[in-house]
Structure 1
């Protein structure tokens, strides 16, 4: 089966940078794209589109525009249009398509409020736990990504059935993986082998040496992760999101949400398995 990337897109494809990024990623992954549009969603079909959007003619115009957008892509691209709520539409797409990941754009706040975008991402992670890539609307140019930075907390985690995603990205792009652990409140420096053991246990890469781990002290995890990403000139930040615990239970004020809100580079969120 040809792998796919599901791109959540609006009527005008405003987050075109996210679509361009997904297409640029699909080429080395030998993947196809699926443009998923949800007719009744505050982010993908806001009220500003007007009443005519929901008429028969408006729906036909939407379908035509999305089909044209699909034709313009550098890889085979299909269009899915759903009348379901966004989580249900995504759940159905995941069930039928088994994509490598979901892609969502973070457009300029003048186009879509920041809290709406982040809230949409967090609700999806909570209700349809699946790898989610959030792509900023501007401020970066590197794609496909070649310098990945994985944020860990040093505690064990499990990523099945998605633990091969990072490996596939690295193999497809010829990229490298660094690992960062942010230490706050004067915490003692944990054992390097133990921290890297949590990465090795998930078989994310062929080999990860001690030199791959960067342990930094910062007042907050978000500050530390973004500062290290900038220092390393990383072009993709990878975050393990736990259902409970260190990343805040996928709440809108969790570390995950704050990173999605603040990161100037794309963020790939990998939902971890429930513990215990």
Structure 2
């Protein structure tokens, strides 16, 4: 059975960019797309704080969905929900057995971090499936050919469906995979332990080679972004631990800071610790 990728749209430029990326990723994966319209209430949307959100009629929503569906090359179905983002996406994931949720991120650099809605937290908590965040201005290759996976050297577990989805992605794309570890400036930045935890989780075991890349930085999120740049990555992969995406201080977490400031797409893998 082919995989289904769930793509969220509110018809903004960042959502359109996410759909473009999803189309490019789905083709080599043999996946189909489900394009789900959600209300613009929390999709990392600065307009949520300005009152500029325009509400659309059912006819306008249907027309906009059809227009976007006509631009993709893979099989696609369109849906709309009146539920809130967490409930609507959770129901759609369950209905379509989605292997991946994809959403766009607008330019939020001029928006204080504390005002950026933590949509990623809500979706990871609600769905427990991998989440791909695509920045509106990204120039990364589609699909990615160089992937950098950040690991902190601590053991982690992933649910079997998550492992299967990521392994399939790696098998189909055959990218250059680099495991990076960010250490304090005074510590050893050797990444061998981080690589061992990745392999122990079940990821990357079918790849002939996996590179490692150590970075020394006082701020882990900045170190990860630095590693992505220096390894010429097209995609950053982070393991989101439950204590991060279930916590109330998500915007202070490493994952959230990377999402907020990355120019590269970021794939979040929910850990089942």
TM-score class, shorter-chain normalisation, is 0.7 to 0.9
Per-residue deviation, 1:141:
3.7
In structure 1, what is the Cα distance between the partners aligned to 2:14 and 2:267? 20
8 Å CA contact retained: 1:226, 1:263: yes
Q: Gapped runs of 5+ residues in structure 2? A: none
Aligned-partner SS, 1:74 = coil
- Give the number of aligned pairs: 268
Per-residue deviation, 1:130:
2.0
Per-residue deviation, 1:223:
1.7
Q: Tell me the alpha carbon deviations over residues 65-93 of structure 1, each in whole angstroms, 9 at most, x when there is no partner.
A: 20232132101111111111110001101
Higher mean C-alpha displacement, 164-173 vs 109-118: 109-118
Aligned-partner SS, 1:201 = helix
In structure 2, what is the Cα distance between the partners aligned to 1:10 and 1:111? 21
Give the match for residue 269 of structure 1.
268
In structure 1, what is the Cα distance between the partners aligned to 2:60 and 2:119? 25
Q: Tell me the alpha carbon deviations over residues 193-239 of structure 1, each in whole angstroms, 9 at most, x when there is no partner.
A: x4322111122123568962222211111121111111110000000
In structure 2, what is the Cα distance between the partners aligned to 1:246 and 1:89? 19
Give the match for residue 36 of structure 2.
36
In structure 1, what is the Cα distance between the partners aligned to 2:60 and 2:246? 42
Give the match for residue 132 of structure 1.
131
Aligned-partner SS, 1:179 = strand
Give the match for residue 178 of structure 2.
178
8 Å CA contact retained: 2:18, 2:102: yes
Aligned-partner SS, 2:104 = strand
In structure 1, what is the Cα distance between the partners aligned to 2:111 and 2:78? 23
8 Å CA contact retained: 2:242, 2:271: yes
8 Å CA contact retained: 1:71, 1:77: no
Give the match for residue 101 of structure 2.
102
- With over 3 angstroms needed to count, the CA separation of the structure-2 counterparts of 1:67 and 1:110, relative to structure 1, is farther
8 Å CA contact retained: 1:15, 1:106: yes
Q: What's the Cα RMSD here? A: 2.9
Per-residue deviation, 1:99:
1.3
In structure 1, what is the Cα distance between the partners aligned to 2:143 and 2:71? 19
8 Å CA contact retained: 2:102, 2:132: yes
In structure 2, what is the Cα distance between the partners aligned to 1:111 and 1:64? 32
In structure 1, what is the Cα distance between the partners aligned to 2:128 and 2:181? 23
Q: Gapped runs of 5+ residues in structure 1? A: none
TM-score by length of 2: 0.87
- With over 3 angstroms needed to count, the CA separation of the structure-2 counterparts of 1:70 and 1:207, relative to structure 1, is closer
TM-score by length of 1: 0.86
In structure 2, what is the Cα distance between the partners aligned to 1:112 and 1:80? 30
8 Å CA contact retained: 2:10, 2:40: no
In structure 1, what is the Cα distance between the partners aligned to 2:111 and 2:218? 30
Give the match for residue 162 of structure 1.
162
- With over 3 angstroms needed to count, the CA separation of the structure-2 counterparts of 1:166 and 1:68, relative to structure 1, is same
In structure 2, what is the Cα distance between the partners aligned to 1:100 and 1:27? 15
Matches within 5 A, 1:232-271: 232-244=231-243, 251-271=250-270
Per-residue deviation, 1:116:
6.2
- With over 3 angstroms needed to count, the CA separation of the structure-2 counterparts of 1:24 and 1:184, relative to structure 1, is same
In structure 1, what is the Cα distance between the partners aligned to 2:8 and 2:115? 14
